[in-house]
């Protein structure tokens, strides 16, 4: 499985503009980055699923809750 969270926004924009979909753990991205990616996906027909991990102090045995939103 390919990881996308370490890719730059420019790389992700190229992927989205090509019409390719992906899932992105978006917790580290800015609102502007998310907006640009969502707009590129809407224009090309790509499907991006943004997954947000709540930032909190957890012990290693607790499972983080994930919130996903697809565009």
- Phi and psi at residue 63, in whole multiples of 5°? -85, 130
Please check the confidence at residue 14 and state whether its pLDDT lies above 90.
yes
Give the pLDDT confidence score for residue 41 in this predicted structure. 97
> Lowest mean pLDDT: which of 29-33, 45-49, 64-68?
64-68
Average pLDDT of 48-70? Answer: 67
Look at residue 38 in the predicted model and tell me its pLDDT.
96
Exposed / middle / buried, residue 24 (Cβ in 10 Å: 0-12, 13-18, 19+): buried
């Amino acid at each position: 499985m390919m990881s996308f969270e370490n890719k730059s926004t420019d790389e992700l924009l190229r992927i989205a503009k090509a019409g390719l979909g992906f899932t992105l753990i978006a917790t580290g991205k800015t609102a502007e980055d998310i907006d640009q990616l969502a707009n590129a996906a809407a224009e090309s027909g790509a499907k991006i699923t943004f997954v947000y991990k709540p930032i909190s102090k957890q012990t290693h045995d607790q499972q983080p809750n994930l919130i996903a939103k697809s565009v």
